[in-house]
Amino acid sequence: TLYAEVQLLTGEGYVAGFDLRRLRRRDIPYLRRRIGIVFQDYQLLTDRNAFLNLHYVLRATGWRNESEIRQRIEKVLDVVQLSSKSYKMPFELSGGEQQRLVIARALLNDPQVLLADEPTGNLDPVTADGIMQLFRQIAARGCAVVMSTHNTALIENYPARAILFAQGKIREVDLAAELG
């Protein structure tokens, strides 16, 4: 629903300035340009290196100036500490590096919201910790980070506002009380 993949049927919801109840189909691409998505299974283009994976997204979202495209790619790769890996193919990157590349892709269009679906689910604890620290840095820059996880240890180590989705209901939870 946050990404307008599923229509909001009851209640109300607002994401990046869009009213999800009144969102017209033709406006969905504009909403999605304000949201960065971090997929659990990466969804990288396996026939292109890291740089070209990012280049493809910028071209697809309307960027035309090659100099600006290059600068933007260099900037997001620097944010996720992958500048030295820009010409590596996805299969040449570790799981953590692939996840950071996916985060770079999500940051390309300077989103207001970053949605991360189980971003640490396939990573070892040390790499997962690095991803969580990166999300903290992104949030500190003013981007709302919304992450789904089943990993209660991550939630305990990185306390933040927590929302529980269960049985079709959404509610805010006090993690200290629920986990403690």
pLDDT digits (tens, 9 = 90+) for 32-74: 999 999 988 999 999 999 999 999 999 999 999 999 999 999 9
Q: What is the pTM of this model?
A: 0.88
Question: Does pLDDT of 176 surpass 70?
Answer: no
Q: How confident is the model at residue 178 (pLDDT cuts 50, 70, 90)?
A: low
135 CB burial (10 A radius; 0-12, 13-18, 19+):
buried
What is the model's pLDDT at position 177? Answer: 65
* Extents of the domains making up the chain: 33-179
Q: What is the CATH number of domain 33-179?
A: 3.40.50.300
Q: What is the pLDDT of residue 20?
A: 94
Q: What rounded mean pLDDT belongs to the chain?
A: 91
The Cα-based distances of 128 to 83, 119, 124, 125, 133 in angstroms read 20, 8, 6, 5, 9
